[in-house]
Amino acid sequence: GAVVSQHPSRVICKSGTSVKIECRSLDFQATTMFWYRQFPKKSLMLMATSNEGSKATYEQGVEKDKFLINHASLTLSTLTVTSAHPEDSSFYICSAVRIGYTDTQYFGPGTRLTVL
């Protein structure tokens, strides 16, 4: 149990377009989901905390107008990279905190975004 999926797993887009990444908790409900970004050979950096039914909380240095987060239900959070540029190319990973089990985060498999 406690499976988190991300869609798509890979996406290639042209500069200037927008890309939506979905994060779903398949067999549990999550009021909180986190979005991380992983650069090659580097650590996962927290981008934002997504809470169901409220606005996301962004980390310092993360542009909220560029990385739009929506957490419309207890099983789905979306990250939209607007007007993507090559420097946005990265590996985006989400994690979900199961309601009542806040000790553990369950990670999605990640989405590889390449902006040409």
Partner 1 sequence: AQSVSQHNHHVILSEAASLELGCNYSYGGTVNLFWYVQYPGQHLQLLLKYFSGDPLVKGIKGFEAEFIKSKFSFNLRKPSVQWSDTAEYFCASRKNSGYALNFGKGTSLLVTP
Q: Which residues bind partner 1 (CB under 8 A)?
A: 4, 32, 34, 36, 41-46, 49, 93, 95, 97, 102-105, 107-110
Who contacts 61 (Cβ-Cβ below 8 Å, separation ≥6)? Answer: none
Find the length of the chain: 116
Q: Which is nearer to partner 1, 28 or 34 (CB)?
A: 34
CA dihedral 23, 55, 88, 29 (to 10 degrees): -10
Q: Which is nearer to partner 1, 14 or 41 (CB)?
A: 41
**Phi, psi for 63 (deg, rounded to 5):** -80, 115
